[in-house]
Amino acid sequence: MTKFDIIVIGGGHAGIEASCAAANMGCSVGLLTMDRFAIGRMSCNPAIGGTAKGHLVREIDALGGMMGKIADRTGIQFRMLNKSKGPAVWSPRCQSDRKLYSEEAYRVVNSIRNIETVEASVVEILSENRKVVGVRTENDDEILCKALVLSSGTFLNGLMHTGLRSTKGGRFGEKPATGITESLLKLGFISGRLKTGTPPRLKKNSINLDILEIQPGDQYPQPFSFSTDRNSFPVLPQLSCYVTYTNKQVHEILAKGFAQSPMFTGLIKGVGPRYCPSIEDKIVRFADKEKHQLFLEPEGLDSDLIYVNGFSSSLPAEIQYEALHKIKGLEECEMVRPGYAVEYDFFPPHQVDLTLETKLIKGLYFAGQINGTSGYEEAAAQGLVAGINAAAKITGRKELVLRRSEAYIGVLIDDLVNKSTDEPYRMFTSRAEYRLLLRQDNADRRLMKYGYDYGLQQKENFEKVVANEKLISRSIELFDNMKLHSRDINSFLENKNLSSIDSTETISKLCKRPELNLKELISLDHNSDNPVIGELLKNDTAIEQVEIQLKYEGYLKRQQEMIERLERYEEEKIPLTLNYSKLKALSAEGREKLNKVKPRSIGQASRISGVTPSDISILLVYLKN
């Protein structure tokens, strides 16, 4: 009988991270997938990152995950989004080569010694005394384990819809996973249904790209991974995307298909993503809008397929085809495959702890869309945390629980556990109350220590981050004291139509002016041969960090003070065995929600919807006594 330390079910983005993390921490891992060559296959948009999602990828990389490295090696366009705004919302994104991404993911997984990929369809989760012990496959084979990560994506009882035609499957051309949901329901779990969608794919050479707005990548692209050699980046040739728009005529054609829409006729029961709606949903919800933006994105260097980002649909294929032909540039397009919706089972995430271990069955972890999230990046982040914690549990190491003040990953998991969700959850920068501290550019400074502690980060990477940290501190101290004289800077300020200074001013204070950058100010100082400055000017990463800290010092300080004020609530631990039903002084809703979530601390309890400030006060008194 086959036995592993850890079984990971599903070879998507969550499964990849869980498998690699657990294996690199010394555990034997069985990665169970229905098709070994589908590992890392991009079901929807062939892209990684984006607003807030790029932050997650950088954090995954800092912790020692794989997504950023794979994206860097297979990206065909890299862009930093939101550069016109402040650094808190700058977000890296890359268009990926769909085929190469999956091939690279397969290579990475198979290069790790402790992972064995097993082609199998799991139909039952096995447990004894409320602890996971293994799985049963459709061939009636039993595979045993000490811990299990379930990252099944959209495959649990997956059902695909195009018009009134429904087909069983979790992804185009792939069968669903059956039996797992029913197995978990017998163990006492609660499930629900969600829906996601994908747009049509078009033949590139049938599109008139010459008349469309071009969207190139950055001139000097930045990689996701700290480990990527910038001297040989980007690795692949870079391509452009294109922009076009729907119009009133397109909307009228789409509306003709509403009578055959699985979403409007009630055929689809699952709730769809609010922030990434289908095109038919858009024209109903935003009826006042005459057009919607569409992005035409290449699927790969050697692919003739174009992904129509923004045109997700489950309308009949003929309606999609007719509407596409009324869009600028697509008048003669050939549709290779229509868009479709996928409906699948999920398990409301109040059923997992902050480690992503389920509360009902010890050693069983949920990661990805099974927890109600949407997106590759959210799935990968959960897979990494679940894999680390499963391995830590087996090897006797400390569990990893990231706080909201530490990482977007912490915000993601905290939101899922405390607020649960009945619709696909997507990460946004607005969800993070400390987003100026949780920037994409400082993920390594915030989180690499954890990756190193768990053996997932190379020593040289960690030492480089430590050295950078020292350089940043020394530089800030230097600029707090280094002054520029009016005779050295006033003519420079006047040329920029900026107000002059009276006598002297520190570089730190001058740098706070939005129109000035640190390198300019350093060049105006006659003592710029200072060894600290010389070292800083050779280090683009460090100088960016110094400049951001100087410019936003006041805001950063206020957010840090807020974290420190609330920290005492995070340190106030609550026994997981506490029965809130006995605390009659709590509100009825408070008792119900606290028993449901089982918070680890007063801080976590205070973020549960329905738990009042009065409930928190009562809990504090109870714990003190």
Give 5-17 pLDDT, tens digit per residue.
Answer: 999 999 999 999 9
The domain spans of the chain are 3-195+344-453, 201-341, 465-556, 572-624
Residues 484-541: pLDDT tens digits?
998 889 988 988 899 989 889 999 999 999 999 999 999 887 666 789 999 999 999 9
Q: Given this model, what pLDDT does residue 277 score?
A: 82
Fold that domain 572-624 belongs to in CATH: DNA polymerase; domain 1 (1.10.150)
pTM of this structure: 0.94
- 232 three-state secondary structure: helix
Q: Give me the sign of the Cα torsion angle 265, 268, 273, 279.
A: negative
**Region 72-97: what's the mean pLDDT?**
96
201-341: in CATH 2.40.30.260: yes
The band of 263, judged by pLDDT with boundaries at 50, 70 and 90, is confident
Please write the tens of the pLDDT for every residue from 149-193.
999 999 999 999 888 888 999 888 889 999 999 999 999 999 999
Q: What is the pLDDT of residues 199-246, one digit of tens each?
A: 999 999 999 999 999 999 999 999 999 999 999 999 999 999 999 999
Amino acid at 559: Q
Percent of the chain topping pLDDT 70: 99
**Best CATH choice for the domain 3-195+344-453 from the list 3.40.50.2300, 1.20.58.340, 1.10.10.60, 3.50.50.60:** 3.50.50.60
The CATH number of domain 465-556, selected from 3.90.1150.10, 1.10.3720.10, 3.40.50.1820, 1.10.10.1800:
1.10.10.1800
> Residue 428 has which token pair?
């946004």
> At what angle are helices 459-481 and 443-453 packed, to 10 degrees?
140
**What tens digit of pLDDT does each residue of 397-420 get?**
999 999 999 999 999 999 999 998
316 vs 259: CA distance, rounded Å: 10
Do residues 172 and 117 touch, judged by C-beta distance below 8 A? no
Which strand (E) or helix (H) includes residue 91?
strand 91-96
Note whether 577 and 550 are within 8 A (CB): no
Q: With 90 as the cut, is the pLDDT of residue 44 above it? A: no
DSSP string of 65-79, one letter each residue: -SHHHHHHHHEEEEE
Pairing type for strands 115-119 and 122-128 reads unpaired
pLDDT band at 21 (very low <50, low <70, confident <90, very high): very high
Tell me the average pLDDT across 112-136.
97
